[in-house]
Chain A
Amino acid sequence: MTMRKRQETAGRRIRTALITMIGIVAAALAGCESPGDGDGTVINNIALPTDTVLDLFCEDVGVFPEICVLEDPANPFVTTTIIEPGLDPDNANKFQIATSFPPGPAGAKARFYFWATALARFPSGENQYFTALALHELFDANSNALGADELIREQALKAYRSQLDNFFGTVFVAVCCEDIRPPGDDRGPVPFPIGLNEWTADNLYRTEGSISNTIVEGQTVPYRRLVDGDPLLVEELLLTWGYGYEAATPPDFDNGIVYIITFP
C-alpha cells in the first residue's frame, strides 16, 4: 500500500468514525429523556435518628480526611445540600439545619451525621470541631457510672486531635451583644472569633463541661470527660499529641492557650 493510499484510508477511517459518532449521539439524543418532574429522591422529610447508638461505618469516620460517612446508609444527610456561610453567606443553611435538631441526646446522633457530612464535603476546623463535639456528646449519652462506650470515646479523641492537627488556627465566629454598639449604629450583633483549638483543649480538660454548648446551643450541658482522672492526664495526652495547654481559668474560662510544642 502506498503512503498516499494509507493516508486516504486513514482519512476515510477518521471520517467514518466521526460520522458514526454523529449517529450515536443522534441516537442517544433521540432515546434520552428530559429530566422528569418526579426524578430523583424526595428529601424534604428526612427522618432524624433519635437514638444514641452509633455504629462507626469506618475506622476514621468523622475524622478528616475520611469521607466514608457519605457512603453510610445510616446517614440521613447524604442527599442534603449543606451551604457553608463562608461560600454563600446569603444562602447558607448550615447553622439553620444544625440548630433545628432536638437538643440533648435525642439530637446527638443527627448532629454527628450532619457535621461529619459537612466535614466530608467541606473540610474545615469548624466542621471537624463540631463533629468531635457530637461524638463527645454521644459518648456522654452512652456513658454512666457503670461503663462507657470506649469506641466512641476513642473516636471523639481522634476527632479532637484532628481538629488540632489539621485545623489548628481556625476560629469560630460567634455573635452577641448588639446592645454594646453605640447609639445609631445599626449593624446588629457584634461578631467575635473564638479559637477552636482552645475549645478543643477546654472540652478535654474541664471537669464541669465546656462553654461551647452554651454559645452554640444556648445551654450548658456538662459532658462526661473523655479522659478520666486528674486533668493533668489531659495535659499528658495533649503532650503526646504535640501540644501544650495553659488551662483556662474561672470565671469566664476564656484565657486558655494551646500551643504547639517544638522540641530542641
Chain B
Amino acid sequence: MKNKAVAMGDSGLTERIVKLGCLLLAAAALSMPVDSHAQAHDVITVKDDGGWRMQVDGEDYYIKGVVWGYSPRGQNYTYNLWGESDDFIRKVLDYEFGLMKAANINAIRSFTTIPPKWVTYIYREHGIMSVINPLMGRYGYSIDGKWVPFTDYSDPRTREILKRDMVEIISEYKDVEGVLMFAFGNESNYGLSWSSFEIENLPEGEQNTAKARSLYSLFAEVIDACRQVAPDHLYTIVNGDIQYIDLIAEYLPDMDILGSNVYRGPSFTDLWARVDEKLDMPVVFFEFGSDAFNARTFQEDQLNQALLLKDMWQEMYNKSWGNSEEGNSIGAFIFEWRDEWWKYLQVENLDVQDTNASWSNQAYLFDWAEGQNNMNEEWFGIAALGPPNSDGVYEARPRMAYDVIGEVFEMDPYTASKGQINAMFANMDIDLYELKGDVRMLKADSTEQKRKLQFTGGDIRAEVAFRGLEQDITRDGKEGIDFSDGQMVNLDFAFRPNDNIEGQFSINILGNVAEKQPLEFGYGDRGLPFAIDAKEFLPFVEPELIPPTTVFNDRERVEIYDFNAKYQGDNWDVEAFYHTPRFHWGYEGDFFNLVQESTDILGIDTFNGKAPAGIEIAGKGKYDGLTLVAGPEIYWGANPQWLFKYQFDLGKTEFAFIHSEELSQLDEGAFRNQAVNRVASKTTLYAARDIFKNVTLELGGIISSRERIDEAYDYIDSEGNIRTDKIEFEDTLGIKAKLTFPVFGWETYLSGHSAGLVADGGGPIPTFGWRDPTNLPYSAFGNKNEFEAGMIMSFGNMMIYPRLLYRENLIDANPDIPPNSNGSVLNPGISPRNRDSDPFAVLNNREARSAEIFFTWDPTGATPFYDWDNEFREDAPFAFNIGGTYTEFPTDTDANLFFFRGGGFNAPFPGGLPAEDVWTISSRMVINPAGSNTRIILDLRRGFDQSSGTPERGTADFFDISGKAYVGRRHIVSGYFKKDSWGPYDFFRQFNFRYPEQVNFEYSYLLGGAVLGNLIDEARATRIGVRTTFRTVDETSLPEEYLEGENDYAFLTVFFLTYRF
C-alpha cells in the first residue's frame, strides 16, 4: 500500500488524472444499483478445543437467522416476487429486512432462489446474508421437459440433470456478495415415497433406506461437483432431523455442516451428542420453532411460541463454542419470518389464515392432545401477515417472539460466557414482550379492516326500547310504558397520504336516540334532548319566578368518533390520537403511574367521553428513550398537560425520568360525575436494578403538586387544638421502594411508599392488571406512609396469593366542629376538607389495615387466568378463583367531591365516610364443558362496603352474581342478579344509590364477525338480540325512580340489531 502511494506520488499529472478518474469510476460503480457480482465472502468453519465456530471474512459469525419468503395474501407458492418491478422488489426488501435488522437477524434461508443482485442488495443495504438453497427435486422436477412430481433419486438421468443444474446454480452464485453458504434439498429424506410442501410429513420407519442411499449418494456427488467450480464455499444439506445419520456419515463425511430441520419441542435432546459422536460436524438448523396458534384453545398464542423459541435459543447458545459442552451449534434459522396463508390446502382459502391443525407433534405440549393435530401450518411466523400498505407491500406484525429473539440476538454467544448467556435468558422481561405483542395484536386487529381502502367499513345499529315505572303502569296501563327507537351509523375510513403517515378515523351519525336512562347509559346519548332547567340554578327562587325549561333537540347528530394518525420519521415517530386505546407506562419506568391506562373505550363511550386525546412524539435511534406526550386528556380524567419521559440505562441500572406539567383543569369529569382534579405538576425519578439473582430493587421519588406550596390547611392536634399550617416543599415529596425476591422459589415483594401531604401520583397497577381480583384499598393520593407485601405461591395448578397493606396518614381527616364565640374569643371551628378548597384531603388514602388472600385454580397455564382476554381464551375445563379482602378503616375521611354537571364544577359531598371495617369475598369461574363448544363465565361477589363518595344512605351489604355463556360460536347469553347492590355504573356507588333487586338478561345471536380467541368478537359482529333490565327500588335508590315511595320498580327492554359491513 505504501509503495503504491509513492508510485502515485511520482506519476505525472496525466497519469494522476487517469487514476483519479478510475477511482471515481470505481466509486460510481459501487454506488450504482447492484447488478454486478462482487467478490464472495470467505466463509469457513473452524474447530478447536472449545468446539466449532463459523467465521465470515475472518470474523466469528453465529447464524441468527430466519426462513424468509414473501407470500402476499391470496397468493400461494406460485407467487414470484422476483417477477415484479425492481422498484417494488426494493420496497418489499427494505420493509422486510429493515424489520429483521432491527431484531438483529443476520441471515436468511429462502425456499425461493433469490436472484444474485438481490442477494447482494440485501447484504449491502441490511447486512443480512443469504443461504442459497436449491431444493434439488424435493417437490418434483422437470426431467427432459417433463414434470415428475415424485423425484426418483435413483434414476441416472434424474441424477445427471440434478447434478448439472446444481452446479449451474452454484456457478451463478459463487462470487455473489452476500452468499453465506450453499444447501441442498429440504427434508428430502422425508420425501422418498411421496411429497408435500408441508413440514408434517414425518417418516414412517426406515422402509425407505434403499431410496435414502440414492439420495445421500446424490448429495455427495452434487457437493463434489459443486466444489469443483466453487471450492471456497461451505456446503450442506437440509436433512429432516438426523434421520439416516449413519448414511450421512457414510456418504457425506466431509460435508462442512450438518443442516437439519428439527421440531423436537423446547429441547433438541440428544441431537448434539449424536451429531458430535457420529459426524463431528457443526450443526445448523435450517428450520425449527413453533407455531403461534394454540390448537386447544383455538387462538393465537404468542406467548408459548416465544417461550419455546427462547428455550431453544438458550440451548443452542449453550451448545455453541466455548461452553464446555458439545460446542457444535453454529446457529440456526427460525421457521419462519412470518405467516404464510397458503400452507394449508395450498390452493384454497388463500385470503384466509386457516386455523386448521394439520399434523401432530407431542413435543409441543402447550397445545398437544392425544389423537388431535396441533401444528398449524399457517401460523409459524414470528410475525403475522398483515394487510398491504400504500406501497402494496404486505406488512409484517411482529409477534412477541420477534422481541424475544431481538434480545437474544443482541448477545454474541462466542464472546459471552456460559453464565452470561444463561443470565440473559433468565432475566429477560417476558411480561414486557408479552404486552408488546398483545398491544400490536390489538392494534392490528382494530385497524386490520381500516387500511385497505379509503372507506373501510362500519356498521348500522338499530334498537327499540321499552321503558317503564311501576307507578306509571299502575296509573296508565300500557300507556305508562315509554317507547322509543334509536339508529346509529358508524363509518370507518383509513388514510395514508405517503410512506411516513398513515391513520384512520370513524364518523358516527345518529338518527333517533332511544331513551333508556337511568337504567342504561350509552354512546349516542349525546343526541338525547337536552333541557336547561333554570330551577337547577336557582334552587331558592319561587318556581313561578323562574323561566320555563328550555329543551334543545337534534343536537350533535354527527361527530368524529375516533382518530389516529402516525408519522414515522428517521429519528422520531409522531402519533396523534383521539379516542383510541392507550396503555399505561408501568413497564416503562412510570413507577407512580402518571400515565394511566385508557383501553376501556366502550366504558368511556358510555358517558360520551372523548379520551384519550393528544399527541405523542417518541424518539428512536439516537433519541431512543425520549418521549413527549401532550394533549387535552391523554388518559380518561387527565387534565390538559404535557409530559416528558427519558429512559436510559446506566450500567445494569434502568432509569426513568418523567415530568408532567398540567396546564388547566379538565372541563368535565370522567364517568359522568368524577371530580376534576386541580392542576398539579409532577416529576418522578425511577431506578431499577437486579441486585442479586432474581432479586430486583425498584426505587422512585416524586415531586408533586408544587402549585400548592404555601396553601393553608387546618387540622386538629393531639390536644384538640385547631391549628393552621401551610404546605411546604417537603410536603410535595414522596419516595417509593419495592423489593421483589424469591422465597422458597415463590415471587415475593415488599414495598413501601412515603408520600408528603400533596405528593399525589397515580393509582398503583395491580400485579395482574385490570383483571386482578384485588380489593386492597390502593390510593393515588399522598399524605401517607404505606407498606405492602405479597407472595405468589404456586402448588401445581393452584396459586395462592396473600397480600397485606398497611397505611397511616401524616395528618388525619378533619372532624366537623361548628364555630363558636364567647363575644371576645372566637373558635372558628373546623370541617372536613375537600380537594378543591384545601390543598389535600383524606379520602381513599385514609388509614387502612387490609389483608387479602385469593386462591386460583388454573390447570391450563398457557391461558393465564388473569390475562385481560382470558374470557375469550381460557381453555381449562374448569378454572376459578376465590378469595376475599378484609379492611379496617379506623378513621373517618374528609369530604369527597363530585362533578356537578349542571353547573360544570366540583361540589363536595356532605361530610366524610365514617370509620368502619369492610370486607368482600368474590369468585370468578370459567367452565368449558367437554365437547359442548360452550363456555360459561360466572362472577360472584358478596360484600359489606362503603360508597366511594357520599356518606349518605349507609354502608352496602350486598350480593352480586353475574354470568355469561358462549354457546357455540353464535349464541351469547349474559345477565346478572344483584341484591342490595349499587347500580351498574360507577356514579351509583359514588352517590350510594342502591337497589333491593336488580336483574339483567341479554341474548345475542351472532351472524358473523371477527374472531377473538376462539370466539367471535361480539363487539365487531353482526348480531341481533334482546336485553332487559328490571330493578326494584327503595329509599336508597335514585330519587327519580323511588319517587318518594310512590314507585316500586323500573324496567327497560331493548331489542337491538347491529349490522357490520
Contacts and interface: CB of A to CB of B under 8 A. Distances in A.
A88 B733 contact: no
B811 interface: yes
Interface in A8-26: 11, 14-15, 18-19, 21-22, 25-26
Interface string A27-43: 01100111101111111
Interface stretch (B10-18, B413-421, B722-730, B766-774): B722-730
Interface in A96-142: 96-97, 100-102, 106-107, 110
Contacts of B832: 91
Given A25-B703, A28-B730, A41-B723, A91 B895 contact: yes
Contact of B910 (A76, A90, A107): A90
Contacts of B655: 15, 18-19
Given A22-B687, A25-B685, A173-B540, A79 B712 contact: yes
Contacts of B648: 11, 15
A48 B721 contact: no
A107 B826 CA distance: 11
A83 B831 contact: yes
A37 B832 CA distance: 18
A47 interface: yes
A191 interface: yes
Q: Considering residues B685, B687, B811, which has the most beta carbons from chain A within 10 angstroms of its beta carbon?
A: B685
Nearest to B731: A35
Contacts of A191: 539-541
A183 interface: no
B828 A97 contact: yes
B907 interface: yes
A40 B701 CA distance: 26
Given A22-B687, A28-B730, A32-B733, A91 B908 contact: yes
Contacts of A7: 622
Contacts of B785: 34
Interface in B822-866: 823-832, 834, 836-837
Contact of A81 (B541, B657, B714, B824): B714
Contact of A41 (B657, B725, B909): B725
B908 A90 contact: yes
B992 to A, nearest CB: 15
B364 interface: no
Interface in A29-82: 29, 32-35, 37-48, 50, 76-77, 79-81
A87 interface: yes
A192 interface: yes
Nearest to B648: A15
Contacts of A97: 819, 821, 826, 828-829
B820 interface: yes
A48 B823 contact: yes
Interface in B702-724: 703, 712, 714-715, 717-718, 721-724
Nearest to A190: B542
B503 interface: no
A29 B722 contact: no
Contacts of B322: none
A27 to B, nearest CB: 11
A193 interface: yes
B930 interface: no
A40 B616 CA distance: 44
B829 A25 contact: no
A96 B735 contact: no
Contacts of B281: none
A153 to B, nearest CB: 27
A220 interface: no
B120 to A, nearest CB: 29
Contacts of A41: 723-725
Interface string B799-815: 00000000000110000
Nearest to A91: B831
Contact of A100 (B650, B685, B820): B820
Nearest to A50: B824
B723 A43 contact: yes
Contacts of A50: 824
A44 B685 contact: no
Contacts of A213: none
Given A25-B733, A43-B724, A91-B831, A48 B712 contact: no
B240 interface: no
Q: Most B CB atoms within 10 A — which of A21, A43, A101? A: A43
A60 to B, nearest CB: 24
B823 A37 contact: no
Interface size class of B (residues with CB under 8 A): 35 or more
A44 B721 contact: yes
Interface string B596-628: 000000000000000000000000001000000
B816 interface: yes
A67 B893 CA distance: 32
A101 B650 contact: no
A40 B724 contact: yes
Contact of B821 (A34, A42, A48): A48
A108 B977 CA distance: 63
Contacts of A35: 725, 731, 757, 810-811
Given A26-B701, A43-B722, A90 B909 contact: yes
B823 A102 contact: yes
B584 to A, nearest CB: 22
A50 B826 CA distance: 12
Interface in B656-689: 657, 685, 687
B831 to A, nearest CB: 4
Interface string B955-969: 000000000000000
A93 interface: yes
Contact of A22 (B701, B715, B723): B701
Contact of A48 (B717, B754, B820, B826): B826
B733 A29 contact: yes
Nearest to B951: A90
B646 interface: yes
Most buried by A among B646, B730, B754: B730
B911 interface: yes
Q: Chain A CB within 10 Å — which of B754, B821, B895, B910 has the most? A: B821
Contacts of A81: 712, 714, 724, 828, 830-831
Nearest to A16: B650
Contacts of B542: 192
B818 interface: yes
A107 to B, nearest CB: 8
A29 B723 contact: no
A19 B725 contact: no
A164 B811 CA distance: 43
B541 A193 contact: yes
B819 A22 contact: no
A193 B540 contact: yes
Contact of B717 (A38, A76, A83): A38
B828 A44 contact: yes
Contacts of B816: 91
A14 B907 CA distance: 43
Nearest to A38: B717
A87 B837 contact: yes
Nearest to B754: A29
Question: Could you say which of B823, B827, B911 has the most chain A C-beta atoms within 10 Å of its C-beta?
Answer: B823
B730 A33 contact: yes
A50 to B, nearest CB: 6
B9 to A, nearest CB: 29
Contacts of B723: 38-43
Given A15-B655, A28-B730, A48 B819 contact: no
Contacts of A100: 819-821, 826
Nearest to B727: A35
Contacts of B721: 42, 44
Given A39-B723, A81-B830, 5 more contacts: A18-B655, A35-B810, A44-B828, A46-B827, A87-B837
15 contacts: A25-B733, A28-B729, A32-B733, A39-B723, A40-B715, A42-B723, A43-B723, A48-B821, A48-B823, A48-B824, A91-B831, A101-B821, A101-B826, A106-B823, A193-B540
